[in-house]
Amino acid sequence: MGDVTRRIGLSLGADICWPRCYEEILARLDLKLPWDGDTLRFEVERVTIEPFDLTQPCRYDVVIDRLTHWYHTSREWIKKAVVLDDLYVFNNPWSIQANEKHTTYAAMTRLGLKIPATWMIPPKSYDKSADLKPTLERYAQLFDLGAIGKKIGYPLFMKPYDGGGWVGVTKIDDEAALRAAYEASGTKLMHLQAGVIPYDRFVRCIGLGPQTRVVNYDPSAPLHDRYRMDTRFVTASQQAELEAITLTINAFFGWDFNSCEALLRGNDWHPIDFANACPDSQVTSLHYHFPWLVVANLRWSLFCAATHRPMRQNLDWRPFFEAARSNDRYEDKLKAYARLARAHFDTDRFEDFCRTHLGHLDAVANEFFGTAIARDAIRAKVQALFPPHEVDEFTELFFGRIQEWRRQAGA
């Protein structure tokens, strides 16, 4: 018997609050797991950015990545480490690089999810290039933007085909607004998507490994109030369906950590934005839901590190497409997709690991989020985003909401 250490790397950008909470709780857990005749321990370290030899060994078993979607040096280091060292990383970096919102709409439409009618339109203007003029002269067709808008129906939304964070999203109520938004879109490649209006609920479902959290969402509220604190705002069957949709999307694209925005109208879920493979993780927006995220991150990363979960470098969509080809009802197809997702995330083994080795995690986390260290982590993030005269107010607001989570979780 001997001590074996699994190392978890945090590849971070502007993240402040959740890494500190993650590190503190892991230290308090003081894990010493009996594992294949050895004692398994865990270390966490923040990944640095520096030149690297492609053959340089990777010191981590798992990396929780927050940079691949935009910072190329970290992305390429992670891709190298996956290929050469079998690193397991949240999320698949090739999938993040290749599968923008356009691809996700197309793929989930093929699976039969109730995606609103979506069109892609050529950009209004172009960056100059040698081949641009002959290409457009030979092949670009004139089109009637107003006719497309009429076919989709109003209201509709214009949004970038690969965007995020609500950047460039415009609600359009008539043809005049459509033409004005198109004129202003410049070189951006845009989608036009039918609006699901009116709707009964706007919901975000966060998926982390096989774990999910369904959150009532108000996009019209200030950022710190968009994630609502209410519970039981959908039926049990509606929640189960949205969770199945979210896990299907995540397993399909190889994403450990992603969120699905969906609108509920009647009994139908309409996913509208679900290529978010680096979701908001900050206490300043998640507040009440922030502890769940940190704990879910710990569970999944510890499981992946302990079991040496293999990284799936290539995506295999065939099983999902085969299930989609069946003559089953939509509900039965979704159950088939969910079974594939459950197998992808090795859910039974994960749940057994948590029962066996992490039974004290909830209590440790509950205690931690009442400490001065937790409050300081919150304050540090607030100081980074809010003007000085609001720091005290919002630190107490977010800390108070987390205390409400502690009371409800403890109960």
Instruction: Give the pLDDT mean for 256-273.
Output: 97
**Sequence letter at residue 192:** L
- Identify the CATH homologous superfamily for domain 117-194: ATP-grasp fold, A domain (3.30.1490.20)
Say how many C-beta atoms besides its own lie within 10 A of residue 185's C-beta. 19
Tell me the per-residue pLDDT of 344-363, one tens digit each, with 9 for 90 and over. 999 999 999 999 999 999 99
pLDDT digits 0-9 by tens, 72-104: 999 999 999 999 999 999 999 999 999 999 999
Span 226-252, average pLDDT: 96
Among residues 18, 46, 44, 26, which one has the least CA distance to residue 377?
A: 18
What does the DSSP assignment read for 296-333?
HHHHHHHHHHHTTPPP--S---HHHHHHHTS---HHHH
- Whether 305 has a pLDDT exceeding 90, the answer reads yes
% helix, strand, coil for the chain, step of 5: 45, 20, 35
391 confidence band (pLDDT: 50, 70, 90): very high
Arithmetic mean of pLDDT over the chain: 96
Q: What is the pLDDT of residue 163?
A: 77
pLDDT range class, residue 410, cuts 50, 70, 90: confident
Q: For residues 187 and 177, what is the distance between their CA atoms, to the nearest angstrom?
A: 18
Q: Where does CATH 3.30.1490.20 sit in the chain?
A: 117-194
Fold of 99-114+200-277+314-342: D-amino Acid Aminotransferase; Chain A, domain 1 (3.30.470)
Q: Give the residue range(s) of CATH 3.30.470.20 domains in the chain.
A: 99-114+200-277+314-342
* 3-98: CATH, from 3.40.50, 2.60.40, 2.60.120, 3.30.2320: 3.40.50
Q: What's the pLDDT tens digit per position in 161-185?
A: 987 777 889 999 999 999 999 999 9
Mean pLDDT of the region 377-389:
98
CA separation for the pair 58, 375 (Å, rounded): 34
Cα separation, 78 vs 11, in Å, equals: 9
Residue 377: closest CA among 22, 26, 42 = 22
Can you give the pLDDT at residue 392? Answer: 98
Cα dihedral 258→259→262→264 (10° resolution): 120
Q: Please list the alpha-helical segments (H only) found in 89-172.
A: 93-98, 101-110, 132-139, 145-152
Q: Enter the tokens of residue 387.
A: 């003007």
Mean pLDDT of all residues in 313-323: 95
CA atoms of 256 and 275, how far apart (whole Å): 12
Q: Percent of the chain at pLDDT above 90?
A: 92
pLDDT confidence of 313, banded at 50, 70, 90?
confident
Instruction: Locate CATH 3.40.50 in the chain.
Output: 3-98
